[in-house]
Structure 1
Amino acid sequence: MSSDIQKTVSELMKDEMYALQADESTDIGGKSQLLVFIRNIADNKIIEQFLCCKELVQTSGEDIFSSVAKYLKEMGLMWKLSGGICTGGCPSMVGSVKGFMSSAQKENPHLITTHCFLHHENLIATLGQE
């Protein structure tokens, strides 16, 4: 089933502009997991697909970038077609020298990078319940 989903996503995104959303988290077993979603526009609709979940041994920005870049290459997706990346605000993601975003911008200098604001909304919602 997994390979069928990968094939479908790969075919849908082939030669199309896309945007990524990535976040790294630690599961209950203490292992770091990287989740990546991909978005594109098809038939005037924004289509969001789950791209991958990768276990990370190291969580530096360079390691995260390497994992994503390797997967994109396997899927036949090119960095030059990526229009943007949205991540959380941890240093490994947004670091200006060795962060995931800065590494991606070396591959495509025209990338638009954004910070996910849902973490802030969750914090505000939690504070409002007290």
Structure 2
Amino acid sequence: MPLSAKTIKDRTIKMATDVTSQQISDVRSAPDFSIACDETCDGDDIAQVALLGKYINDQGPQELIVLLSLRGQTRGEDIASAVTECLKQKYIDINRIISVATDGAPSMKGTHEGFVTLLKKSMEHDVISFHCKIHQEVLCAHTFPEEISKGLGMVMQIVKIMASALNYWQFCELLREVNSQCSDFLVYNKVRWLSRGAVLVRFASCLEEIEVFLQEKALNIQH
């Protein structure tokens, strides 16, 4: 007998809760761990903080991801308060944090009121702070030579055209018809953590199909 939707939902929630519980237990027993924080929004555009904890147990490196809602402002003190309160509620010793990674936003890296600064003040020892590698890559991309920037601009212009609902669906159908090695098309969004490199690799692998599609649709790309 097939299970009802509610039964499957309840089972999924219980499994997820059990996994999270085990991970929290592992973090508590770990001698030290690292965290990474980044601001984001949920589907209702409510500010959140994605808290990623990394630790090592008998099975090797592990990760624990928690989303923390921010009611009101998203200042450094709001983020620090949400993170420390989360760790306190889960009985995780904040003094076991050895490093923290964030982006370069003032609310994260501010000298006096940034999240990292406030976090360090609440701890008994200093921690190593890192600037997120993915954000660094985005900043480095702004320094590319003009000819490379123009090439990337053209690629992103094509990606934007292909991202429209109808074009996207039709292009995926074309990929399936020609038995392409790719079945989908990646979309680049500056807000999301999908690197340009992944988009460019997929773009290059689908170059012939993209040319055919643009010709069929009579779409002109401005160089």
2:137 — aligned with what? 121
CA distance in 2, matches of 1:28, 1:49: 22
Q: Which amino acid aligns with 1:86?
A: A
For 2:26 and 2:59, how far apart are their aligned partners in 1?
14
The answer to whether residue 23 in structure 2 is matched with residue 9 in structure 1 is: yes
- Answer whether contact 1:15 1:81 (CA < 8 A) is retained: no
Per the alignment, residue 102 of structure 1 pairs with 117
1:63 paired with 2:63, answer: no
Over alpha carbons, which structure has the higher Rg? 2
TM-score by length of 1: 0.86
Cα drift, residue 54 of structure 1:
1.6
Q: Note the alpha carbon deviations across 1:29-85, whole angstroms, 9 max, x for none.
A: 4321210110012238322221x1122121000010000111000111111100011
Of all paired residues, the percent bearing the same amino acid is 27
Amino acid at match of 1:105: K
Q: In structure 1, the residue corresponding to 2:29 is in which secondary structure?
A: coil
**Does residue 104 of structure 2 align to residue 81 of structure 1?**
no
For the Cα contact (< 8 Å) 2:20–2:64, is it kept in 1? no
Is there any run of 5+ residues in structure 2 with no aligned partner, and where?
1-12, 143-147, 154-223
Number of residue pairs matched?
Answer: 129
Deviation at residue 27 of structure 1 after TM alignment: 4.5
Structure with bigger helix share is 2
Distance 1:37 1:49 in 2: 6
In structure 1, list runs of 5 or more residues that go unmatched. none
1:22–1:37: 8 Å Cα contact kept in structure 2?
yes
What CA RMSD, in Å, does the superposition of the two structures yield over aligned residues? 2.3
Q: Which has the higher strand share?
A: 1
